[in-house]
Structure 1
Amino acid sequence: MSARSHSTRRTGGRRILAAVAGLTTIGALVAAMPAGSPAAQERSHGHGRLVDVQLLSFNDFHGHIQPPSGSGGRVTHTNPDGTTRTIDAGGAEYLATHLREARKGERYSVTAAAGDLIGATPMLSGLFHDEPSIEALNKLDLDVSSVGNHEFDEGAKELARIQNGGCHPTEGCYEQGRKFKGADFPYLTANVTHEKNGRPLLDPYFVWQKNGVRIGFIGVTLEGTPDIVNSEGIKGLKFRDEVESINKYAKILERKGVKAIVALLHEGGSPASTSYNYDCDSPGPGDGISGPIVEIAKNVSPQVDAMVTGHTHQAYACSIPDPSGKPRMVTSAASAGRLYTDTTLTYDRRTRDVVRTSVDSVNRVVTRDVPKAPDLTQLIDRWNTLAGPIAGRPVGHISADIDNPFTEERPLGNLIADAQLDALSPADKGGAQLALMNPGGIRAPLVRAASGAEGDGVVTYGEAFTVQPFTNMMNVVDLTGAQLLTALRQQVSGSNQASPKILQVSKGFTYTLDLTKAGADRIVTDSVKLNGEPIDPAKTYRVAMNEFLTGGGDGFSVLREHTNKLVGASDLDVFIGYLGKYSTPAAPLAPPALGRITVVK
Structure 2
Amino acid sequence: MRLVPVSLLALAVAACSSTPPVETAPVATEIQLLALNDLHGRLEAPEEVVPVTMADGSVIRVPAGGAAMLGGALKAYRTDNSMTVAAGDLIGATPLASALFLDEPTIEALDLMGLDYSALGNHEFDKGVPELLRIQNGGCEQFTARTPCALDGSFDGADFDYMGANVFLPDGTNLLPDAFVRDFGAVQVGIIGLPLVSVPGLVAPNLVDGLVFTDEAETANALVPSLLEAGADTIVLLIHQGARGVERWDDKGCEGLSGEILPIVERLDPAIAVVVSGHTHAAYTCRLPMADGAGERLLTSAGRYGAFFTDIRLAFAGEQLVATRADNVVVQGESFVGRDGEVVAASPRLPLFTPDPAVAALVERTLDKARPQMERVVGRLSGPAPDHPDDLESPAANLIADAQLAATRAADRGGAQLAFINGGGVRDALVPGPDGAVTFEQLFAVQPFGNTLMTVTLSGAELKALLEQQFVTADGRDRESHLIPSGNFTFAYDLSLPAGERVVSMRLDGVPIDPARDYRVTTNNFVANGGDGYSVFTRGRGRTGAGLDLDALVDWIAEGRAVPAVGRIDNRTPAR
After TM superposition, give the deviation of residue 276 of structure 1 in Å: 1.2
- Indicate which of 266, 285, 289 corresponds to 1:321: 289
2: CA distance, partners of 1:347 / 1:577: 57
Partner residue in 1 for 2:199: 225
For the pair 1:404 / 2:385, whether they are aligned, the reply is: yes
Aligned partner of residue 563 in structure 1, secondary structure: helix
Between stretches 436-445 and 213-222, larger displacement belongs to: 436-445
- Indicate which of 198, 202, 216 corresponds to 2:190: 216
Tell me if structure 2 keeps the 8 A contact 1:99–1:140.
Answer: yes
2: CA distance, partners of 1:307 / 1:272: 17
Partner residue in 1 for 2:147: 171
Partner residue in 1 for 2:357: 374
2: CA distance, partners of 1:427 / 1:485: 30
After TM superposition, give the deviation of residue 319 of structure 1 in Å: 1.4
- Indicate which of 527, 531, 554 corresponds to 1:579: 554
Shift of the 205–412 alpha-carbon distance from structure 1 to 2, 3 Å rule, reads: closer
After TM superposition, give the deviation of residue 86 of structure 1 in Å: 3.1
Which segments of 5 or more consecutive residues in structure 2 lack a partner in the other structure? 10-23, 334-345, 347-352, 473-477, 572-576
Tell me if structure 2 keeps the 8 A contact 1:507–1:596.
Answer: no
1: CA distance, partners of 2:360 / 2:544: 33
Q: Which amino acid aligns with 1:231?
A: P
For the pair 1:133 / 2:106, whether they are aligned, the reply is: yes
Between stretches 296-305 and 480-489, larger displacement belongs to: 480-489
* Structure 1 vs Structure 2 CA RMSD: 4.3
Aligned partner of residue 251 in structure 2, secondary structure: coil
- The CA deviation string for residues 347-397 of structure 1, in whole angstroms up to 9 with x for no partner, is 343xx3422xx1111111111243322222111111012113433567x55
Partner residue in 1 for 2:239: 265
2: CA distance, partners of 1:126 / 1:314: 24
Partner residue in 1 for 2:399: 415
- The CA deviation string for residues 284-325 of structure 1, in whole angstroms up to 9 with x for no partner, is xxxx42111111111111111211111111111111122332
What is the aligned-residue identity percentage? 34
Per the normalisation by structure 1, the TM-score is 0.73
Aligned partner of residue 241 in structure 2, secondary structure: coil
Shift of the 537–251 alpha-carbon distance from structure 1 to 2, 3 Å rule, reads: farther
Tell me if structure 2 keeps the 8 A contact 1:411–1:594.
Answer: yes
Aligned partner of residue 173 in structure 2, secondary structure: coil
Shift of the 595–252 alpha-carbon distance from structure 1 to 2, 3 Å rule, reads: closer
After TM superposition, give the deviation of residue 450 of structure 1 in Å: 6.6
Shift of the 577–271 alpha-carbon distance from structure 1 to 2, 3 Å rule, reads: closer
Tell me if structure 2 keeps the 8 A contact 1:401–1:448.
Answer: no
Shift of the 512–153 alpha-carbon distance from structure 1 to 2, 3 Å rule, reads: closer
Pairwise mapping of residues 365-514 of structure 1 onto structure 2 (< 5 A)? 365-368=330-333, 369=346, 370-392=353-375, 396-398=378-380, 401=382, 403-404=384-385, 412-422=396-406, 433-438=418-423, 441-447=427-433, 449=435, 451=437, 461-469=440-448, 480-481=463-464, 484=467, 504-510=484-490
- Indicate which of 149, 156, 161 corresponds to 1:181: 156
Partner residue in 1 for 2:224: 250
After TM superposition, give the deviation of residue 96 of structure 1 in Å: 1.3
- Indicate which of 357, 364, 367 corresponds to 2:329: 364
Partner residue in 2 for 1:51: 29
After TM superposition, give the deviation of residue 594 of structure 1 in Å: 5.5
Partner residue in 1 for 2:321: 354
Shift of the 158–353 alpha-carbon distance from structure 1 to 2, 3 Å rule, reads: farther
Aligned partner of residue 289 in structure 1, secondary structure: coil
Partner residue in 1 for 2:341: none
Aligned partner of residue 166 in structure 1, secondary structure: coil
Shift of the 117–598 alpha-carbon distance from structure 1 to 2, 3 Å rule, reads: closer
Aligned partner of residue 305 in structure 1, secondary structure: strand
2: CA distance, partners of 1:309 / 1:486: 27
For the pair 1:193 / 2:173, whether they are aligned, the reply is: no
Between stretches 542-551 and 298-307, larger displacement belongs to: 542-551
Shift of the 535–114 alpha-carbon distance from structure 1 to 2, 3 Å rule, reads: same
Partner residue in 1 for 2:44: 66
1: CA distance, partners of 2:225 / 2:503: 55
2: CA distance, partners of 1:250 / 1:206: 11
Which segments of 5 or more consecutive residues in structure 1 lack a partner in the other structure? 7-37, 40-47, 283-287, 452-458, 554-558
1: CA distance, partners of 2:401 / 2:165: 38
After TM superposition, give the deviation of residue 444 of structure 1 in Å: 2.0
Aligned partner of residue 271 in structure 1, secondary structure: coil
Shift of the 91–4 alpha-carbon distance from structure 1 to 2, 3 Å rule, reads: farther
Shift of the 540–340 alpha-carbon distance from structure 1 to 2, 3 Å rule, reads: farther
Aligned partner of residue 441 in structure 1, secondary structure: coil
Tell me if structure 1 keeps the 8 A contact 2:204–2:526.
Answer: no
Partner residue in 1 for 2:14: none
2: CA distance, partners of 1:242 / 1:473: 31
- The CA deviation string for residues 436-490 of structure 1, in whole angstroms up to 9 with x for no partner, is 4539634323458474xxxxxxx6533421332355787889765377379599x
Partner residue in 2 for 1:18: none
Partner residue in 2 for 1:456: none
1: CA distance, partners of 2:547 / 2:253: 38
- Indicate which of 90, 94, 97 corresponds to 2:72: 97
1: CA distance, partners of 2:354 / 2:550: 38
2: CA distance, partners of 1:322 / 1:89: 33
1: CA distance, partners of 2:387 / 2:166: 42
